[in-house]
Amino acid sequence: MKKTKYPKIYRIIHWAIAISFLLLLLTIFLRLTWLNKFNVAAIIQDYLNTTDQMLSQEQLIVLAKKIRQPMWDWHFYIGYVLVGLFSIRFTLPALGHMKFQNPLTKDLSLKEKFKKWTYLIFYVCVIISLSTGLIIEWGPKELKKPMEEIHILGIYYLVAFVVIHLAGILIAEFTDQKGIVSRIVSGTKDND
């Protein structure tokens, strides 16, 4: 039985990116649901109704944004981590540690082409998301609004990629690539 080795750097980058994206999705989910500025403002207003204090809707929204700001700061921190991780990820093929996913390679099966195109599209979307995030934070003020509109669309590709990725893992695990989950954890896979 031949053992195929998968580099530790690949596995570390893979899991660091996966965890970072899940945490990023958590910040987005919280911002869109429980920590939505209008929900938080309503909670504050409900409390103030039991006292003799009053705030305008504008003041409630400002206070709600301040309450959720520490959570939203994590969105930025994770974004910076992802910039670093993807910088490493995109540098590794040049150093010979990881392969570039080329969907135009001849003699690929339809499944392999789909997989490689999915990754290529994902990486392009990641570059757009990380770039727009950096421009929002560090770029000229006149670009902030259009970059935010593009950046917000990132939730759609990210959720779609996670679903496609997990489905692909399950299909591979239960068909022709048994042990794929073990391989990305341990780095080796037994081949028959």
Which of the four pLDDT bands, split at 50, 70 and 90, describes residue 6?
low
Tell me if the pTM is above 0.95: no
Does the pLDDT of residue 109 top 90, yes or no? no
Q: CA geometry: angle at 31 spanning 158 and 119, to 5°?
A: 5
Among 49-53, 67-71, 132-136, 188-192, where is mean pLDDT lowest?
Answer: 188-192
Does the pLDDT of residue 88 top 70, yes or no? yes
Give the DSSP letter string of 48-90: HTTTT----HHHHHHHHHHHHHHHHHHHHHHHHHHHHHHHHHH
Does the pLDDT of residue 123 top 70, yes or no? yes
CA atoms of 90 and 100, how far apart (whole Å): 9
pLDDT of residue 43: 94
Q: How many other C-beta atoms can be found within 10 angstroms of the C-beta atom of residue 52?
A: 6
Which of the four pLDDT bands, split at 50, 70 and 90, describes residue 57?
very high
The whole-number average pLDDT for the span 56-61 is 95
